[in-house]
Amino acid sequence: MPQASQQKRNTQDTSASASNADIDARRAAAAPRGVGIGFPIYAQHARNAELWDVEGRRYIDFGSGIAVLNVGHRHPRVLKAIEAQLNCFTHTAYQVVPYESSVALAERLNRLAPGAHAKKTAFFTTGAEAVENAIKIARCATGRPGVIALSGGFHGRTFMGMALTGKVTPYKSGFGPFPGSVFHVPAPVPLHGVSAADSLRAIDQLFKADIDARQVAAIILEPVQGEGGFYQAPLEFMQALRDICDQHGILLIADEVQTGFARTGKLFAMEYYDVLPDLMTVAKSLAGGMPLSGVIGRAEIMDAPAPGGLGGTYAGNPLAIAAAHAVLDVIEEEQLCTRAERLGLYLKQHLQKLREHVPQIADIRGPGAMVAVEFMQANGQPDPAFAKQVQQRAQACGLLLLTCGAYGNVIRFLFPLTIEDTVLEEGLAILTQAMHG
């Protein structure tokens, strides 16, 4: 064996016994600082809602890889599906030699997505890629350039994704200029003094001051903002957006990348509204940890781009497609929408009890198991320091929590919907300890 290959093999063989600090030092030397690390611990193996690092320490995972693992780490059904596909083929490039499993998944999502109208689905790899393609489709279908997004929204780190994202630091800092004809209006967040009426007035003002409504291709929003703080769009706001879109020939895009696949207690969060989107982006939990995303939309809109206008080398990878079929099976058979409702209610009740003794808790919110708690200081200002403190205390005791929000003062709960009740209880006990200090 050549010396270089032997050295590589030795590195792989010994990495499992290295410490977190050793590997993190190697990361700092080998990888750019722009790829931020939430926890300087290195995964060795995981199962459902539990994760073990290379030092053998166990953690309860309330982050699920940022809402990717609604069916947990290594669900047996998902593993079996991937293994079966591995024994057939791993890649052909769907645009070169397609495969029936992708067609079947598109048919399945078309049936499951809200609305009885004819739909079509295109597959991609990442959530940002789905968003990029949704904007491409909307512009092609309408012949218009403009797009309206909301402050606090997160739509990815590609250039169009950054342009749409309503938060500068760290996502936009140093990367401009961004694609044009993208406009932002304040998201309705009553806790921070912005009502649905305020947001709608901002859209009206936008049409008067910045862009003719007849030049707007789409309005894009998350039904529940993910990175932005788990603020759910009010019903009256979503209905008003649908009316505005219908009045002016604008397409409504629901970004369900984080909200999709049972997280909110519905398969899709748009099911909470008597409103149908024209296009919907999906990713994250669609394939249980495998990279897969998609755009689901009205058939006539989806057909606007010419052949070759959509796609990607790895788009709809067959391993990810197989995993997605298994994920949908698990959601249905294990009744994860119902379970998300039950777990989310239990968590919110637990947080309400904590609120009696933790004055920093200003708000507890979220549909299903997409729950957040927001912290404020006594003077009503956001308290990101307390959120960080709770996160660090929890990690020290073996619980992984994610923060979010424009001020970093929100903790979001994204544990797998398959989490065992005993593990959930253990995690909540650690959370209580972390809150009390």
CATH number at residue 351: 3.90.1150.10
* Residues above pLDDT 90, as percent of the chain: 95
Domain that holds residue 344: 38-71+335-436
Reported confidence tier of residue 132, pLDDT bands at 50, 70, 90: very high
What integer best gives the mean pLDDT of the chain? 95
- What is the pLDDT at residue 14? 43
Cα angle for residues 54, 64, 18 (degrees, 5° grid): 10
- What is the pLDDT at residue 12? 43
Q: Assess whether 320 and 341 both reside in one domain.
A: no
Residue 363 has pLDDT above 70, yes or no: yes
Q: Assess whether 223 and 362 both reside in one domain.
A: no
Give 301-338 pLDDT, tens digit per residue: 999 999 999 999 999 999 999 999 999 999 999 999 99
Reported confidence tier of residue 83, pLDDT bands at 50, 70, 90: very high
Give 170-228 pLDDT, tens digit per residue: 999 999 999 999 999 999 999 999 999 999 999 999 999 999 999 999 999 999 999 99
From 312, 333, 354, give the residue that closes a domain: 333
Helix (H) or strand (E) holding 184: strand 182-185
Distance between CA atoms of 159 and 175, rounded to whole angstroms?
A: 8
Reported confidence tier of residue 17, pLDDT bands at 50, 70, 90: confident
Q: Assess whether 53 and 140 both reside in one domain.
A: no
Residue 355 has pLDDT above 90, yes or no: yes
- What is the pLDDT at residue 3? 42
- Count the domains in the chain: 2
- What is the pLDDT at residue 4? 42
Q: Assess whether 361 and 276 both reside in one domain.
A: no
- The token pair at 12 is 């792989």
Q: Where are the beta strands (DSSP E) in 90-145?
A: 119-124
Q: What is the mean pLDDT of residues 136-164?
A: 97
- Which residues, at least 6 apart from 340, have a Cβ–Cβ distance to it below 8 Å? 262, 263, 264, 265, 368, 369, 370, 417
From 278, 310, 333, give the residue that closes a domain: 333
The pTM of the full predicted model, rounded to 2 decimals, is 0.94
Q: Assess whether 43 and 96 both reside in one domain.
A: no
Q: Assess whether 384 and 254 both reside in one domain.
A: no
- Supply the CATH number for residue 313's domain: 3.40.640.10
How many CB atoms are located within 10 Å of the residue 270 CB? 24
